[in-house]
């Protein structure tokens, strides 16, 4: 069985159907491309064939290139391997586009159309863009676009060059630079595709039979072509390119090689003939792929994220799909968890101490659905269906038959113990009990449970409906079925899980707190707050530490500091940080929620600027540190904590450490995560920086033994992982 098959109809239309065996979504492999190439040759050579329609045997057209194949091109053939692989695709797509026409007269080619039943992404759109007309089914669920930039590459099979020439650089920008996806109607309105019809295959077939020579010559292959919006040296085009460079740099801070390479490919490509432009595109694509950042991003944001979602670390236990979940506490987190569960088709019992609190929790879901209806992402029927699954009550008896409980009441061990006992009195003996605590050890909370092997942590991040990561925490006694249940639940609600062991702050919060603290500590030392915030952003952190603490709230920081100090006693290392945040709290500058924090906010809550009142309490030192010193402090504060979590066995898998860091707290995505970043630096260089930082700033920067050992042996984290035999 091959990925593409061809059926030559009696009417002279050859229908090529893409249907990769054994997969629910088509993805292109190099073997698939070779097969398609052979069929196109056959169709163009066959006198009986008047034209071709390329379609899919599945409900969607295609999900894109198999990114494992792209990673493989590089591993096997280096830069030349990537370039040759990409040029092979260019030749195939160019062959489709020119369709056997006479190069001079542009006559005698065979019309080739694409018929898209559903989603068409990446190469799944680049291939249709090379055909002469694109027909899509009127399927509002379908997504059409070029999302490559989201995983650190850019459309490299002609998508960049063709879309720029079709729409002009300005109109193509959101699709290329932001990876914007559209439904078929919006895609047609934007000029990405040509027609939206009931039956794309039939419409494409009719069009192919009626098409004339002139219908199949692309504008850029016709005489007198001018790029819409103007080439870079045209006055209007010049403005576009200058603006685009500034915008891209502003958004990416220059840390994403793909965005820069994409702009270069568009700019340079716009000044040369089409075939030259494809070659330039291929060169820049190769350049990006050879950059360690793109492999690190593909590794974490695609390959390993998917592996974790598919249960790479799931114990071998029978299916644990959740049918009825009980949620204790209908506050901010409980309401969010109820919503995502009901959206996933799970029946929900949402419990709170008072009926109006439970009702408010359910109303949260109604509010989110109303917003989605406003954006045409949901319907009234969908809303009724989702809300129909949520029972908001104070009655614990309603928990009967729940196979999973997620507890999200106040962060108070006594309250948690009480609701644990009340729920366990009602739920089936084999139900799993999960707590959403963010700070209390799972092992301690499990003491209230009669079945500690069925007790586990499922730690969501706020806001639940938006955040993609869920941390699953194993207590000492947690058994494999509880882990499998938690993983199956996370799969159902379509989030990405990491599984960690029980320790203070688990993984994500453990790493993010030192990042925030380092920023605040520098304020106390008199480092310019603007320098602190910009240093973080120039490393690709989405939020500087001071903005982040404003968002999460300064009083939460105070609460955590007090609790941590009480637990650690003499060993507590963060007195200098506390001095600053306790003072901020005394000024009632609690962050965004009081419209006053390290930043100022206007009446509508819009962030304005860093608060200048800080200077009176913490005057800026005359001698400011180098940018790189500030950056190293902020980055090592997080990464060394991640390494310690690994050393101490809290993290069991660096893939989880990297994926969790990017999805959980936005750790510089270009780096692929803290372990990816350390690998890029090299362990020896990382140790050198630790030695420098610890000499100047203290033991918190001391190189962990694992890093020293790796520096001595010349190992990398992913090198070690690859060398380790593993099941997944």
Omega of the bond leading into 152 within 30 degrees of 0 (cis): no
**CA 62 – CA 285 distance, rounded (Å):** 21
Q: How many helices (H) and strands (E) does the chain have?
A: 30, 21
Q: What's the closest the beta carbon of residue 418 comes to ligand NAD, in angstroms?
A: 6
Q: What's the closest the beta carbon of residue 508 comes to ligand NAD, in angstroms?
A: 10
Omega of the bond leading into 642 within 30 degrees of 0 (cis): no
Question: Which of 408/490 has CB closer to ligand NAD?
Answer: 408
Question: Which of 122/334 has CB closer to ligand NAD?
Answer: 334
Cα torsion angle, 578, 584, 587, 590, sign = negative
User: Could you tell me if 149 and 259 are in contact, meaning their C-beta atoms sit under 8 angstroms apart?
Assistant: yes
Q: What's the closest the beta carbon of residue 464 comes to ligand NAD, in angstroms?
A: 8
Q: What's the closest the beta carbon of residue 460 comes to ligand NAD, in angstroms?
A: 6
* SS3 call for 116: strand
Alpha helices in 434-586 (DSSP H): 442-445, 480-492, 508-525, 529-538, 545-552, 554-568, 575-586
Token pair of 337, please? Answer: 């968890």
Applying CB under 6 A, the site for ligand NAD has a residue count of: 24
Question: Which of 307/556 has CB closer to ligand NAD?
Answer: 556
Judged by CB under 6 A, the residue of 27, 70, 130, 328 near ligand NAD is 328
From the list 530, 557, 524, the residue with the least C-alpha distance to 697 is 524
* SS3 call for 509: helix
Sheet holding 144-145, edge to edge: 120-121, 144-145, 181-182
Taking contact as CB under 6 A, which single stretch among the options 153-161, 175-183, 322-330, 578-586 is the one that binds ligand NAD? 322-330
Residue 717 found at the interface with ligand NAD (CB under 6 A): no
Taking contact as CB under 6 A, which single stretch among the options 87-95, 128-136, 323-331, 341-349 is the one that binds ligand NAD? 323-331
Give the residue at shortest CB distance from ligand NAD: 331
Cα-based angle 653, 654, 660 (whole degrees, multiple of 5) = 100
Residue 330 found at the interface with ligand NAD (CB under 6 A): yes
Residue 366 neighbours by CB distance under 10 Å = 14
Taking contact as CB under 6 A, which single stretch among the options 95-103, 305-313, 330-338, 482-490 is the one that binds ligand NAD? 330-338
Q: What's the closest the beta carbon of residue 462 comes to ligand NAD, in angstroms?
A: 3
Taken as a whole, the chain contains a residue count of: 728
Question: Which of 201/409 has CB closer to ligand NAD?
Answer: 409
Residue 229 neighbours by CB distance under 10 Å = 19
**CA 644 – CA 513 distance, rounded (Å):** 14
* SS3 call for 539: coil
Question: Which of 317/363 has CB closer to ligand NAD?
Answer: 363
Q: What character string, x for contact with ligand NAD (CB under 6 A) and - otherwise, covers 438-477?
A: x--------------------xx-x---------------
Q: What's the closest the beta carbon of residue 643 comes to ligand NAD, in angstroms?
A: 24
Residue 417 neighbours by CB distance under 10 Å = 15
From the list 109, 131, 114, 97, the residue with the least C-alpha distance to 49 is 109
**CA 270 – CA 288 distance, rounded (Å):** 19
Q: What's the closest the beta carbon of residue 247 comes to ligand NAD, in angstroms?
A: 32
Site residues (CB under 6 A) for ligand NAD, limited to 589-628: none
Q: What character string, x for contact with ligand NAD (CB under 6 A) and - otherwise, covers 55-94?
A: ----------------------------------------
User: Could you tell me if 473 and 435 are in contact, meaning their C-beta atoms sit under 8 angstroms apart?
Assistant: no
**CA 364 – CA 339 distance, rounded (Å):** 8
User: Could you tell me if 357 and 338 are in contact, meaning their C-beta atoms sit under 8 angstroms apart?
Assistant: no
**CA 310 – CA 348 distance, rounded (Å):** 24
Identify the bridge partners of residue 56 per DSSP, sorted by sequence position.
18
Concerning whether 459 is annotated as a catalytic residue, the answer is yes
Q: What's the closest the beta carbon of residue 558 comes to ligand NAD, in angstroms?
A: 15
Question: Which of 349/539 has CB closer to ligand NAD?
Answer: 349
From the list 99, 90, 88, the residue with the least C-alpha distance to 133 is 99
**CA 703 – CA 691 distance, rounded (Å):** 7
Question: Which of 301/409 has CB closer to ligand NAD?
Answer: 409
Residue 209 found at the interface with ligand NAD (CB under 6 A): no
Q: What's the closest the beta carbon of residue 419 comes to ligand NAD, in angstroms?
A: 5
Q: Which of 459, 632, 692, 697 is catalytic?
A: 459
Site residues (CB under 6 A) for ligand NAD, limited to 271-300: none
Question: Which of 265/335 has CB closer to ligand NAD?
Answer: 335
Cα-based angle 711, 712, 716 (whole degrees, multiple of 5) = 40
* SS3 call for 454: helix
* Per-residue exposure over 183-201, b if at least 16 CB sit within 10 Å of its own CB, e if not: bbbbbbebebbbbbbeebb
Alpha helices in 193-273 (DSSP H): 200-210, 235-252, 257-269
Q: What character string, x for contact with ligand NAD (CB under 6 A) and - otherwise, covers 405-444?
A: ---xxxx---x--xx----------------xxx------
Q: What's the closest the beta carbon of residue 543 comes to ligand NAD, in angstroms?
A: 15
Question: Which of 283/364 has CB closer to ligand NAD?
Answer: 364
Identify the bridge partners of residue 600 per DSSP, sorted by sequence position.
596
Longest alpha-carbon distance in the chain: 87
Question: Which of 269/326 has CB closer to ligand NAD?
Answer: 326
What ranges make up the beta strands (E) of 293-424? 324-328, 347-351, 390-393, 404-407
* SS3 call for 683: helix
Question: Which of 451/593 has CB closer to ligand NAD?
Answer: 593
Question: Which of 160/393 has CB closer to ligand NAD?
Answer: 393
Residue 333 found at the interface with ligand NAD (CB under 6 A): yes
Identify the bridge partners of residue 15 per DSSP, sorted by sequence position.
7, 53
User: Could you tell me if 430 and 484 are in contact, meaning their C-beta atoms sit under 8 angstroms apart?
Assistant: no
Q: What's the closest the beta carbon of residue 495 comes to ligand NAD, in angstroms?
A: 13
Q: What's the closest the beta carbon of residue 645 comes to ligand NAD, in angstroms?
A: 18
User: Could you tell me if 68 and 128 are in contact, meaning their C-beta atoms sit under 8 angstroms apart?
Assistant: no
Q: What's the closest the beta carbon of residue 422 comes to ligand NAD, in angstroms?
A: 8
Token pair of 276, please? Answer: 């030259």
From the list 491, 448, 498, 490, the residue with the least C-alpha distance to 474 is 498
Site residues (CB under 6 A) for ligand NAD, limited to 343-402: 351-353, 357
**CA 146 – CA 172 distance, rounded (Å):** 10
Question: Which of 338/645 has CB closer to ligand NAD?
Answer: 338
Catalytically active residues are 459
Contact residues for ligand NAD (CB under 6 A)? 328-334, 351-353, 357, 408-411, 415, 418-419, 436-438, 459-460, 462
């Amino acid at each position: 069985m091959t990925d593409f098959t061809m059926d030559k109809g009696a009417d002279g239309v050859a229908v090529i159907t893409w249907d990769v065996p054994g997969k629910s979504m088509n993805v292109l492999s190099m073997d698939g491309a070779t097969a398609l190439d052979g069929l196109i040759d056959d169709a163009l050579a066959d006198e009986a064939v008047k034209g071709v329609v390329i379609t899919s045997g599945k409900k969607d057209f295609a999900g894109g290139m198999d990114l494992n194949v792209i990673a493989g091109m590089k591993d096997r053939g280096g830069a030349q391997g990537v370039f040759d692989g990409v040029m092979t695709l260019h030749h195939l797509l160019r062959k489709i586009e020119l369709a056997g026409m006479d190069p001079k007269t542009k006559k005698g080619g065979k019309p080739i159309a694409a018929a898209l039943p559903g989603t068409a992404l990446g190469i799944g759109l680049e291939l249709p863009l090379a055909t002469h007309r694109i027909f899509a089914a009127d399927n509002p669920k379908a997504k059409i676009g070029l999302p490559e930039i989201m995983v650190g590459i850019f459309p490299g099979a002609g998508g960049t060059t063709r879309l720029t020439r079709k729409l002009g650089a300005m109109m193509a920008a959101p699709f290329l630079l932001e990876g914007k996806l559209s439904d078929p109607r919006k895609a047609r309105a934007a000029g990405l595709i040509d027609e939206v019809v009931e039956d794309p295959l039939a419409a494409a077939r009719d069009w192919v039979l009626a098409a004339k020579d002139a219908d199949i010559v692309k504008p850029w292959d016709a005489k007198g072509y001018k790029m819409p919006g103007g080439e870079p040296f045209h006055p209007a085009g010049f403005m576009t390119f200058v603006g685009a460079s500034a915008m891209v740099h502003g958004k990416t801070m220059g840390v994403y090689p793909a965005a820069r390479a994409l702009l270069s490919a568009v700019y340079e490509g716009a000044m040369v003939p089409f075939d030259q432009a494809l070659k330039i595109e291929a060169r820049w694509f190769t350049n990006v792929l050879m950059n360690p950042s793109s492999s690190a991003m593909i590794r974490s944001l695609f390959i390993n994220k998917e592996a974790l979602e598919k249960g790479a670390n799931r114990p071998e236990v029978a299916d644990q799909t959740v049918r009825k979940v009980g949620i204790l506490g209908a506050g901010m987190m409980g309401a969010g968890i109820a919503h995502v569960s009901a959206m996933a088709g799970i029946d929900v019992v949402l419990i709170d101490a008072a009926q109006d609190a439970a009702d408010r929790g359910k109303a949260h879901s109604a509010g989110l659905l109303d917003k989605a209806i406003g954006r045409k992402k949901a319907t009234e029927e969908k809303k009724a269906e989702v809300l129909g699954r949520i029972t908001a009550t104070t009655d614990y008896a309603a928990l009967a038959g729940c196979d999973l409980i997620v507890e999200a009441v106040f962060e108070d061990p006594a309250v948690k113990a009480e609701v644990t006992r009340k729920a366990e009195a009602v739920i089936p003996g084999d139900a799993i009990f999960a707590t959403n605590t963010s700070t209390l050890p799972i092992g301690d909370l499990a003491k209230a449970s009669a079945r500690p092997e069925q007790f586990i942590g499922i730690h969501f991040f706020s806001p639940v409906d938006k955040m993609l990561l869920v941390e699953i925490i194993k207590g000492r006694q947690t058994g494999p079925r509880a882990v499998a249940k938690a993983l199956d639940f996370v799969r159902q609600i379509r989030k990405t899980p990491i599984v960690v062991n029980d320790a203070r702050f688990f993984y994500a919060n453990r790493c993010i707190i030192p990042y925030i603290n380092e920023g605040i500590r520098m304020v106390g030392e008199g480092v310019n707050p603007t320098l602190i915030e910009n240093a973080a952003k120039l490393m690709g952190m989405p939020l500087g530490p001071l903005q982040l603490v404003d968002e999460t709230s300064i009083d939460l920081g105070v609460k955590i500091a007090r609790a941590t100090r009480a637990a650690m006693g003499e060993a507590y290392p963060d007195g200098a940080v506390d001095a600053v945040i306790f003072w901020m709290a005394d000024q009632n500058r609690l962050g965004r929620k009081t419209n006053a924090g390290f930043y100022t906010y206007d009446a509508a809550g819009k962030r304005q600027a860093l608060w200048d009142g800080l200077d009176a309490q913490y005057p800026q030192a005359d001698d400011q540190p180098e940018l790189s010193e500030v950056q190293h402090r902020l980055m090592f504060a997080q990464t060394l904590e991640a390494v310690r979590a690994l050393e101490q066995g809290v993290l069991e898998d660096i893939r989880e450490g990297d994926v969790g860091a990017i999805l959980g707290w936005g750790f510089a995505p270009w780096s692929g995560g803290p372990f990816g970043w350390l690998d890029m630096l090299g362990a020896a260089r990382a140790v050198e920086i630790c030695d420098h930082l610890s000499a100047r700033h203290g033991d918190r920067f001391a190189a962990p033994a694992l890093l020293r050992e790796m520096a001595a042996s010349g190992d990398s984290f992913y090198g070690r992982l690859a060398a380790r035999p593993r099941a997944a």
